[in-house]
Structure 1
C-alpha cells in the first residue's frame, strides 16, 4: 500500500496538479526556477510538465516570455468550480436575502484574467432593469467589481495592468486616464468597496465589495447595480453594510 501511495504522489498527473495548485495559490506569474524551488521537483521534470501544460492550454507564458500564468483552460476550470461552489443552496440564499434587502439586482463575479465574469445573480423584480446576464464578461476599470479586484492586486501586477491593460471608454464617465485610475483604486483600497457611477453603462450605478474565503483569500466580488432613475449612488451606499454582511456570509461557504 505504501508503494502504491508513493507511486501516486510521483505520477505526472499529480505533479501537473501540484503546479496548477501552486500557480492558483500564488495568484501571480511564476518562473520555472520559482516552481522548482517551491515544489522541490527535478528541473527537467518541471520544464517538461510546464511545456505540456502550456501545450494543453492550462498554462500560458507571461508577457515577459519567461514566467507562467494560468491559461484559458485553467481559468475555465476554476470559474466552473467557483460557479458550482457559489451556486450552492446556502450561497444562493445569501444572494436572495441581499436582493430582498436592497430590491435591486445582486451579482457574484470572479476575476478572469483582465476582466470579471458574472457567475451568479438574483434579478430585481422591477420591470426596469439592466441586463448583464450570467456569463457576461465585463472590464476591470469600468465596473465596481473590477475595481475591487484591481485594488487587491499586488503593486507590481497593478502597475503592469496600468501599462498593458485594455482601458476602453464606454461612457463619458469611464476612467481611462492612468493617473486618475490609480487614484481611484487607491481610494477603493482605503474604503474597502468600489463604485461605478455610469462608467460602464449610461444611467447605471453599482457598488461592490470583496468576498474572502475561509483563509481570507480574495475569491469573488459581491455587488448590486441599479438604474439611476430609481437609485442614486448616494442612496445605493446606504446598503453598503448589508452588502458587507452578505459577503462575509458567502465567504463561509467557499
Structure 2
C-alpha cells in the first residue's frame, strides 16, 4: 500500500518509526524523506505529536525528538541517549559551577519555550519548568532572541506584542523595549533584572547554528539575594563556553543524519 493511502493512525506510527530508526533529531522534512507523505500531512502529524507530548522540539526549534510520553511508551530512548546525555551533562556542569539554575530555551510562537533545565541544589529556587513558555519581553532569553531579528521585523513584532507587566521592572513601552534590544544586539547578552519574576535576575547567551544564527539560548537565573545582575554578568564567559559546546553537540547531531 502506498504511504499516502495509509490510515491516519498508521501514518502517525510511521512518523514515529522513522524518527526512532534515525536515532537523532530530525526535521519534519527529513522524516518525510523516509516516508514520502504529502508535505501538509507530515507537518500536521508532527504538530499533533508535539502538542500531545509524544515529541518535543530540539534546540534549533526545527527538529523533533521523542518526548517523555513516547519514551515511556516505547522504551527506545536509548538510541538518543548519547545526544541527550551530552546536552544535559553540559548544562549540569555549568549549573554546578555557577551554583544556580541553568536552562536552554527555544523561540516559539508565544514566547520562549523551556527545553531543558538543571536546577540548583539550593533549597530556595525559582522554578520555571521544562515545557513552560515565558513572554519574549520579560525574559533574558526572549529579549536576546528579539535582538537578533532584523530591525524592521523586530519593530513589527515588538509593536504586536502584549507588553504586560510581569514584575517590578518589566518594560511595557515598545520604544523603551526597542532601545534595550539594540543594546542587547550590540553585546550579545540578554538580561533580566526583575522583569519576569519579582526578585529574580538572569542572563542569556545565544546557541548558534552553522550559519551563526540564534537557534536557542542558554541562560542562568537565580534570586537576587544570592546573585546580583552584576554577578550574573560575570558568568557570561562560562555561559559562552558552554554554548559553544552545545553548538558542537547540535551540529554533530545534524551531521549524523547526513
State if a TM-score over 0.5 links the two structures.
yes
* Deviation (angstroms), 1:229: 1.0
Instruction: Please name the residue that 1:160 is paired with.
Output: 156
2:168 maps to 1:190: no
d(CA) in 2 for partners of 1:89 and 1:57? Answer: 28
d(CA) in 2 for partners of 1:242 and 1:220? Answer: 17
d(CA) in 2 for partners of 1:57 and 1:116? Answer: 24
2:101 maps to 1:101: no
Please give the secondary structure, in 2, of the residue aligned with 1:88.
Answer: helix
Bigger Rg over Cα? 1
d(CA) in 2 for partners of 1:74 and 1:148? Answer: 29
Instruction: Please name the residue that 1:120 is paired with.
Output: 116
Contact 1:144–1:194 (Cα < 8 Å) also in 2: yes
**Normalised by the size of structure 1, how large is the TM-score?**
0.69
Q: Which string of whole-angstrom CA distances, capped at 9 and with x for unpartnered residues, describes residues 35-70 of structure 1?
A: xxxxxxxxxxxxxx7xx83xx6948xxxxxxxxxxx
Contact 1:214–1:252 (Cα < 8 Å) also in 2: no
Contact 1:83–1:120 (Cα < 8 Å) also in 2: no
2:213 aligned residue (198, 202, 217): 217
Query: What is the aligned residue count?
Result: 195
2:132 maps to 1:136: yes
Please give the secondary structure, in 1, of the residue aligned with 2:186.
Answer: helix
**Ranges in structure 2 where 5+ consecutive residues have no aligned partner:** 1-26, 30-37, 67-79, 251-258
**Normalised by the size of structure 2, how large is the TM-score?**
0.68
Please give the secondary structure, in 2, of the residue aligned with 1:253.
Answer: helix
**Ranges in structure 1 where 5+ consecutive residues have no aligned partner:** 1-18, 22-48, 60-70
Contact 2:110–2:133 (Cα < 8 Å) also in 1: no
**Which aligned runs of 4 or more in structure 1 are off by greater than 3 angstroms?**
56-59, 71-78, 80-87
1:146 aligned residue (135, 142, 145): 142
* Deviation (angstroms), 1:83: 6.3
